[in-house]
């Protein structure tokens, strides 16, 4: 296997940003016809390394060799010309252009010079259709990309990356929005490319996917190179140990959580017939004090929509919301806040953090919002509050005055939770709080949520990882196709959840 031709060799790659050394002395070797996984916790430097390889950043030190020739990509365009193609984690499609345009942009087929020389749109659409067919997708390529669901958008970005005759294909978290069938189709494509001799770099958080498709693994930790391993020679535990630097025992759910009260206690938050046209069919939901309610379902089943309706981020078309049994006026998030609700959104960069404000200001924001303009949380009080919560949640930050944008994803998430904890919420809704967070931080987070429930808060926990939902919840509500499929009591296992999602057939 060592004879396999080396396509890309990166040596001693470093990159510093103000205040943080994102990469130091990193190595990466990609071989033709191999799928190579890049693993590491959040903040390990994976995305930065990829940006160096694709010319978004320049490396401060070291060298990159492509097929034996030294190269230095200056821009994504240049990297593509060199033969390095990538699907970035945050790359979105251009919503105002058609799907076909998104796939072929920059490489449009042209009409012959004699017939005008302009872009040949029919050929463009045809090419796009073919590329999507390679992924098992059939859709109208002339529709605007903005109207596609997230999964199809992600697959279209893959189709675009694949369209070039790249020697190196980089996929950064390409499966985060895909369901099992779509992942299968993607893997079939990846295997086909691998067999053609393309060197593929694959970044994912899903360990099972790594072992399913990858041949080799490179592990980064804190911006440094830990090692390169063959998949067959490193088991999951070893991999995790390499990533976090310590053996992590599979944490059991702490038994200290008192069983939630029976149905006698009135629900803290209840919704009857809540619905929104095109997003959620009418359903009921109840949250009780001291209870963790898990919300499970596939992508598109309506979990996030339900959470947003409960917090009044979106307007409901029908239904009533009750707090402590009494009908409540819930028209905007400020109302929800006043009633003691809190909400950690799915996309923390877009709807969670205010990037240029400090950690302290981000943490104090919701509490101050509830106090309104009438009363003022003085800076000294803000500092005390922030310090206390940062310590309690283990938020890793240089100081509470650091702009929150400089924290890693996991620590940002903790800071958002701290923001809501400051308001002593009676109900806390968390939408995918563990997404994009390393294993150690996930564990701490879940423990924190249990402590919260122990203290009497009603917690609504949404996660795509059924295993997490099962471990954490007192009760599980299952959604399917934007409607309620049913509820499962404590002790239900993953299979029960899967059956309910699949429907009784």
Partner 1 sequence: MNARRFARHTLFWPTMTLGLLLLVCELFSPSFLGIAWQDGHFYGNLVDILNRAAPLMIVSMGMTLVIAVRGLDISVGAVVAITATVAALMIGGSFSADGDATSRFPLWLAIITALGVAAACGVWNGLLVVKAGMQPIVATLILMVAGRGIAQLLTGGQIITVYYAPFYTLGNGFLLGIPVALWIAAALWGLLQLAVSRSALGLFIRAIGGNPEAARVAGVRSSAITLCVYTFCGLAAGVAGLIISSNVKSADANNAGQLLELDAILAVTLGGTALTGGRFTLAGTVIGALIIQTLTSMIYSLGVPPEVNLVVKAALVFAVMLLQSPEFRALVLRALRSSRTGNA
Partner 2 sequence: MNRRLLPLGVTMLLFVGMAAFGAIRYDGFLSPQVFLNLLIDNAFLCVVAVGMTFVILSGGIDLSVGAVIALGTMISAALLEAGWNPYAAMAVVLLFGALFGAAQGLLIQRFALAPFIVTLAGMFLARGCCYLISTESIPINDATYTAIAQARIPVGFDASLTVGALIAIAVVLAGMRIAHATEFGRTVYAIGGGESSARLMGLPVSSTKIGVYLLSGFCAALGGVVMTFYMLSGYSLHAVGLELDAIAAVVIGGTLLAGGVGYVAGTLFGVLILGIIQTLIAFDGTLSSWWTRIVVGALLLLFCLLQRLFEGRTRRTA
Position 252 contacts partner 1 (CB under 8 A): no
CB atoms within 10 A of CB 445: 22
**Three-state DSSP class for residue 250:** coil
Position 325 contacts partner 1 (CB under 8 A): no
Give the DSSP letter string of 80-143. HHHTEEEE-TT----TTSBHHHHHHTTS--B--GGGT--B-HHHHHHHHHHHHHTTT----TTS
Extract the runs of DSSP E, i.e. beta strands, from 126-241. 168-172, 199-203, 216-221, 224-230
**Selected range binding partner 1 among 202-210, 240-248, 297-305, 333-341, rule: CB under 8 A:** 333-341
Write down the least CB distance from residue 365 to partner 1, Å: 5
H/E segment holding residue 16: strand 6-17
Write down the least CB distance from residue 82 to partner 2, Å: 11
Write down the least CB distance from residue 361 to partner 1, Å: 6
Write down the least CB distance from residue 60 to partner 1, Å: 14
Please check whether residue 240 is in contact with residue 248, taking contact to mean a CB–CB distance below 8 angstroms: yes
Closer residue to partner 2 in complex, CB, 53/213: 53
Position 247 contacts partner 1 (CB under 8 A): no
Interface with partner 2 in residues 406-465 (CB under 8 A): none
Write down the least CB distance from residue 21 to partner 2, Å: 24
CB atoms within 10 A of CB 486: 16
Position 9 contacts partner 1 (CB under 8 A): no
Position 147 contacts partner 2 (CB under 8 A): yes
Write down the least CB distance from residue 58 to partner 1, Å: 13
CB atoms within 10 A of CB 389: 23
Of 192, 194, 190, the residue nearest 182 (C-alpha): 190
Interface with partner 1 in residues 295-324 (CB under 8 A): 311, 313
Task: Tell which one of 72, 105, 251, 354 touches partner 1 (CB under 8 A).
Answer: 354
Task: Tell which one of 106, 327, 372, 489 touches partner 2 (CB under 8 A).
Answer: 106
Write down the least CB distance from residue 363 to partner 1, Å: 10
Task: Tell which one of 43, 83, 345, 436 touches partner 1 (CB under 8 A).
Answer: 345
Helices (H), 197-338: 207-213, 236-244, 303-310, 333-338
Q: What is the CA radius of gyration of the chain?
A: 24
Binding-site partner at residue 278 among partner 2, partner 1, none, CB < 5 to 8 Å by type: partner 2
Position 491 contacts partner 2 (CB under 8 A): no
Task: Tell which one of 97, 241, 298, 483 touches partner 2 (CB under 8 A).
Answer: 97
Q: Is 414 exposed, middle or buried (0-12, 13-18, 19+ CB in 10 A)?
A: buried
Position 361 contacts partner 1 (CB under 8 A): yes
Position 94 contacts partner 2 (CB under 8 A): yes
Question: 439-454 and 236-244 are packed helices; what angle lies between their axes, rounded to 10 degrees?
Answer: 90
Count CA atoms closer than 13 A to 413's CA, side-chain side: 23
Please check whether residue 305 is in contact with residue 277, taking contact to mean a CB–CB distance below 8 angstroms: no
Position 370 contacts partner 1 (CB under 8 A): yes
| Contact pattern for partner 1 over residues 391 through 430, marking x by CB under 8 A | ----------------------------x-----------
Task: Tell which one of 115, 233, 277, 326 touches partner 2 (CB under 8 A).
Answer: 277
H/E segment holding residue 376: none
Task: Tell which one of 6, 56, 241, 298 touches partner 2 (CB under 8 A).
Answer: 56
Please check whether residue 131 is in contact with residue 141, taking contact to mean a CB–CB distance below 8 angstroms: no
- By the criterion CB under 8 A, which residues form the site for partner 1? 311, 313, 332-334, 336-338, 343, 345, 350-357, 361, 364-366, 368-373, 376-377, 419
């Amino acid at each position: 296997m060592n004879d396999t031709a080396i396509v890309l060799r990166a040596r001693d790659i470093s990159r510093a940003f103000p205040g943080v050394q994102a990469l130091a002395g990193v190595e990466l070797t990609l071989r033709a016809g191999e799928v190579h996984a890049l693993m590491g916790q959040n903040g390990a430097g994976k995305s930065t390394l990829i940006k160096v390889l694709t010319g978004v950043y320049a490396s401060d030190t070291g060298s990159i060799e492509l097929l034996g020739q030294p190269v230095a990509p200056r821009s994504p365009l240049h990297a593509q010309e060199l033969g390095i193609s990538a699907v970035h984690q945050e790359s979105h499609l251009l919503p105002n252009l058609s799907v076909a345009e998104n796939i072929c942009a920059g490489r449009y087929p042209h009409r012959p010079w004699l017939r005008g020389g302009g872009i040949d749109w029919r050929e463009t659409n045809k090419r796009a259709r073919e590329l999507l067919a390679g992924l098992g997708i059939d859709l109208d390529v002339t529709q605007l990309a903005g109207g596609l669901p997230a999964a199809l958008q992600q697959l279209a970005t893959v189709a675009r990356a694949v369209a070039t005759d790249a020697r190196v294909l980089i996929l950064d978290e390409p499966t985060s929005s895909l369901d099992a069938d779509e992942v299968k189709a993607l893997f079939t494509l990846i295997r086909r490319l691998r067999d053609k001799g393309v060197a593929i770099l694959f970044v994912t958080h899903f360990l099972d996917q790594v072992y399913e498709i990858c041949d080799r693994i490179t592990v980064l930790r804190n911006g440094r190179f830990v090692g390169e391993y063959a998949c067959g020679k490193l088991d999951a535990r070893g991999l995790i140990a390499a990533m976090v630097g310590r053996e992590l025992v599979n944490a059991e759910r702490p038994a200290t959580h008192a069983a939630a009260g029976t149905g006698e206690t009135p629900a803290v938050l209840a919704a009857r017939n809540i619905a929104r046209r095109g997003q959620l069919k009418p359903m009921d939901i109840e949250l009780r004090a001291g209870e963790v309610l898990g919300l499970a379902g596939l992508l598109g089943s309506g979990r996030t929509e339900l959470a947003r309706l409960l917090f009044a981020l979106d307007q409901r078309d029908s239904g009533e919301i009750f707090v402590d049994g009494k009908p409540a006026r819930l028209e905007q998030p400020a109302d929800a806040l006043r009633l003691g609700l809190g909400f950690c959104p799915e996309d923390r960069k877009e709807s969670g953090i205010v990037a240029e404000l400090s950690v302290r200001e981000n943490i104090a924001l919701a509490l101050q919002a509830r106090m309104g303009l009438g009363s003022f949380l003085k800076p000294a009080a803000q500092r005390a509050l922030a310090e206390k919560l940062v310590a309690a949640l283990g938020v890793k930050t240089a100081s509470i005055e650091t702009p929150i944008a400089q924290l890693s994803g996991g620590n940002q998430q903790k800071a958002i939770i701290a923001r809501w904890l400051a308001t002593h919420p009676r109900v806390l809704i968390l939408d995918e709080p563990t997404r994009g967070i390393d294993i150690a931080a996930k564990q701490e987070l879940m423990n924190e949520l249990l402590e919260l429930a122990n203290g009497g808060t009603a917690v609504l926990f949404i996660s795509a990882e059924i295993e997490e939902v099962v471990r954490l919840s007192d009760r599980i509500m299952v959604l399917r196709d934007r409607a309620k499929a049913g509820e499962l009591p404590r002790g239900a296992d993953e299979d029960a959840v899967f059956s309910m999602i699949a429907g009784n057939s």
